[in-house]
Amino acid sequence: MRILRVVHTLRREAGGPSESVVRSSAALGALGHEIAVATADAPGTPPPPATGFAFHPLGGFNRPVFQSWLQRERTRFDAVLVHGLWQAGWAVRQALAGTRTPYLVFPHGMLDPWFARAYPLKHVKKQLYWWWREGRVMRDAAAVCFTCEAERRLAQKTFTPYSANERVVAYGTAKPPANHEALRAAFISRFPALTSRPFILFLSRIHAKKGVHELISGYAKFRQTHRDTPGLVIAGPCEDADLLQDLQRHAGLAGLSQLELRENPAPVLTPADITWLPMLGDDLKWGAMLSAEAFILPSHQENFGIAVAEALACGRPVLISDKVNIWREIDAARAGLVAADTAAGVENLLTRWADLTPAERHAMGAAAARCFAANFEITNAAKSLAGVIRECVAD
């Protein structure tokens, strides 16, 4: 099939949906499908490296140029996938009106009621837009694709009226390269201060919804009652400088020593309780996960959690909140630990992790790898998505 994917950007800093579009497009291509990706990036923006799909940075979805482009090009595609809400959906719906080309929508967690509670004024504006346009985009989509059953259930509670042809589609990511020792060595060579003590890794966008404030508070409380605690590494992009300063100030007031390597990646040997790292490229990201003893993500809202799946692929137990929508699969597989998205929940996760024996930790790591293979491996996810698209094209 010839498939067009429409997503705001493919910049890795934008988070999981962008990363997943890149990886799953490669997997779909390997299955014989022809993929193109249209984004709102400025014209001339280069595609991500080593991608095998056509890339069309069109400069925005609300401008006439995007809808006109899609009306010209629509006969080239068997189906169009819209990733995310509020931006491209209406233009896609209008451009495909009266044709036999179906469009599918991935909300990517944007219908989670957490956003309505966290940003009530924005929610009012979005409800108005829902009545005007977005509700019709959802209603007329050949399928609205959710990445897990929890996301599907939560989506029904946020905007009214709600009407959608719901489908739950397998979702996943790629395994790390096979050269694990080389990846570990490259990471430690870049950040030698992390050789002196084990560490637990947070690797994600630094954003209010990720629970980083609670992570720091819970870690500080955990350290008060435990000796020989692992360090905490917080790695990832942050587009809100004030938020980052607030988090670092909070850590200082909690009595935690900090090593700031976001702006100064030069090798430093002095260890600290919290080490701050920038967004890590693929090899360094895999090296960080393979070097960590566990992965932690206490999000207040997490539709899927690509980084969680990547940690599982590395055989690393994951310590997550019950707001990460794939927590049930992880809990059932005994591939990690689950608690509330609070400081007390973080303290609970770290305490339970500390209480495990080496044999129990090893068993949990093996279960993590099995959980990934059974639920989140990218080829199986691509086959699931292709099956849903094929059904929509045939209707």
Q: Can you tell me the distance from the alpha carbon of 64 to that of 204, in angstroms, rounded to the nearest whole number?
A: 34
| Residues in the chain, total | 395
Q: What is the dihedral of CA 137, 32, 35, 177, to 10 degrees?
A: 110
DSSP letters, 367-378, are HHHHHHHHHTBH
Q: Which CATH number fits domain 2-172+378-394: 3.40.50.2000, 3.40.50.1220, 3.40.50.300, 3.40.980.20?
A: 3.40.50.2000
What's the pLDDT at 17?
Answer: 81
- What percent of the chain shows pLDDT beyond 70? 98
Whether 180-375 and 2-172+378-394 are alike in CATH topology: the answer is yes
Q: Can you tell me the distance from the alpha carbon of 287 to that of 104, in angstroms, rounded to the nearest whole number?
A: 35
Beta carbons of 242 and 258 less than 8 angstroms apart: no
Class of 180-375 in CATH: alpha beta
Please check the confidence at residue 71 and state whether its pLDDT lies above 80: yes
Identify whether 230 is preceded by a cis peptide bond (ω within 30 of 0): no
Beta carbons of 212 and 206 less than 8 angstroms apart: yes
Which residue carries 């059932």 as its tokens? Answer: 332
Q: What is the pTM of this model?
A: 0.90
Segment 257-289, tens digit of pLDDT: 999 988 876 666 778 999 999 999 889 999 999
Segment 145-180, tens digit of pLDDT: 999 898 999 999 899 999 999 999 998 888 999 999
Which of 70-74, 214-218, 286-290, 340-344 is least confident? 70-74
For the chain, counts of helices (H) and of strands (E): 16, 14
Domain range annotation of the chain? 2-172+378-394, 180-375
Distance of CA 380 to CAs 37, 98, 261, 377, Å? 21, 33, 37, 6
- DSSP strand pairing (258-260 vs 231-235): unpaired
